[in-house]
Amino acid sequence: MAAHDAVEVILAKRDKHELTDSQIDWVIDAYTRGEVADEQMSALAMAILLNGMNRTEIARWTAAMIASGERMDYSTLSRPTADTHSTGGVGDKITLPLAPACGVAVPQLSGRGLGHTGGTLDKLESVPGWRAALSNEEMFAILEDVGAVICAAGDGLAPADKKLYALRDVTGTVEAIPLIASSIMSKKIAEGTGALVLDVKVGSGAFMKDLATARELAETMVALGTDAGVHTVALLTDMATPLGLTAGNAIEVAESVEVLAGGGPADVVELTLALAREMLAGAGRDDVDPADKLADGSAMDAWKAMIRAQGGDPDAALPEAKESHVVAAPASGTLTRLDAMAVGLAAWRLGAGRARKEDPVQAGAGVVWHARPGDEVTEGEPLFTLLTDEPERFDRALASLEGGYDFGDGAGFTRGEIVLDRIS
């Protein structure tokens, strides 16, 4: 006879009790094996969203998710490992230049986009020939040879999370901090990296809209990593304004390549270097400066080698959208606000993102903005360029941008900091 049953566990959390280690171990294992039904796990997820979990419960929940699958071990590699994870934003292409610029082995297991936030794998799949699915053997070989790999997590890594993630997405329980923290950290701890740097986004374009909630999530994840023996730090970074000048798939790859070539938007470069320096410090390699790797071309060499190792052609032309629509600036002055959520929704509605996991994405779709907050704008000049293969998408994308930006005379305007806080 089973040690527990689903209703007992649901009732315990509904009535605000602390779940026992035994209850947590049982419910995660039984759900992964199909003994606990989706509607029962939905009820438990909602109870967790409403009533929370303490640090002991979250740690045990994370450990149970890790135990549902395999754990990777990079101890045989000739260099230390460090990884990063972003909680998701708009124009957030940082992983692309970050992995090659870092200088230690970066085993980056990434995901696909959902809703208004872009997915790293979707972006890279716009590179002709590139493939996300690698065997563990391929991944190890590329890490040893190139020093960076970006790929999809295999089915063997935290399968409980894969199942629960899909369920949370359709049951209104995505925002539960215990479930976000355990989802991210179960995969990252199982992945076996030695050091982990978390980029926790704050603002309109992020899941965490305010600093207090973002700090709670960051502190929860840092504690989980530290307790599991992984050197973990988190940076709280601004996502009120989108990063760089593009939101989409191929257009973000192109912008990332500009950064790797020693150029690119200042905010993308700044955040790439901030995260890379934290990763290097965590891996004990303070002697490496990632800015040098961008300047001397070695980061670009690593990028090209990484793309080739995964079947891609780094020199091939990237896909371009069939249709474009230019939005002219309605007035002259200083752009004082550009809302990340408005831009993210527009890119999504143009076909750069998906509403459901199984939906396809358009490689060439997205939004280019021709000014960032603080820049001077002239009436009638291009403010946005919208890109899609399906022109009927323009109207809804334009509606997303309405009210998403402001102009002023620029007096007293200052650009905010990108890195808002550091949690360790």
Q: Judge if 86 and 137 occupy the same domain.
A: yes
Q: Judge if 230 and 296 occupy the same domain.
A: yes
Q: Judge if 31 and 151 occupy the same domain.
A: no
149-158, 315-324, 401-410 — which is least confidently predicted? Answer: 149-158
Whether residue 317 lies inside any domain: the answer is no
For residue 289, count other CB atoms closer than 10 A to its CB: 14
Give the C-alpha distances (Å, rounded to integers) separating 413 from 91, 244, 376, 416. 23, 19, 12, 9
140 with 75: CB under 8 angstroms?
Answer: no
CA angle 216, 353, 300 (to 5 degrees): 80
Mean of pLDDT values over 218-241: 96
Inform me whether the pLDDT recorded for 113 exceeds 80.
no
183 contacts: CB under 8 Å, gap ≥ 6: 65, 161, 164, 165, 168
Q: Judge if 271 and 136 occupy the same domain.
A: yes
Q: Judge if 296 and 328 occupy the same domain.
A: no
Residue 391 sits in a domain whose CATH number is: 3.90.1170.30
Residue 44 sits in a domain whose CATH number is: 1.20.970.10
Q: Judge if 220 and 112 occupy the same domain.
A: yes
Helix, strand, or coil (residue 343): helix
Count the domains in the chain. 3
Q: Judge if 35 and 133 occupy the same domain.
A: no
235 with 419: CB under 8 angstroms?
Answer: yes
User: Mean pLDDT in the chain?
Assistant: 93
Residues above pLDDT 90, as percent of the chain: 80
Model confidence band, residue 88 (pLDDT cutoffs 50, 70, 90): confident
Helix, strand, or coil (residue 202): strand
Whether residue 418 lies inside any domain: the answer is no
Whether residue 214 lies inside any domain: the answer is yes
Inform me whether the pLDDT recorded for 114 exceeds 80.
no
- Predicted local confidence at residue 157, as pLDDT: 85
Residue 242 sits in a domain whose CATH number is: 3.40.1030.10
Q: How many CA atoms lie within 13 A of 303 on its CB side?
A: 24
User: Which residues are the active-site residues?
Assistant: 85, 161, 168, 183, 187
Q: Judge if 283 and 333 occupy the same domain.
A: no
112-116, 275-279, 340-344 — which is least confidently predicted? Answer: 112-116
Q: Judge if 87 and 152 occupy the same domain.
A: yes
Within 123-209, strands assigned E span: 148-152, 195-202
Q: Judge if 290 and 331 occupy the same domain.
A: no
- Where in the sequence is the domain holding 10, given as residue range(s)? 6-52
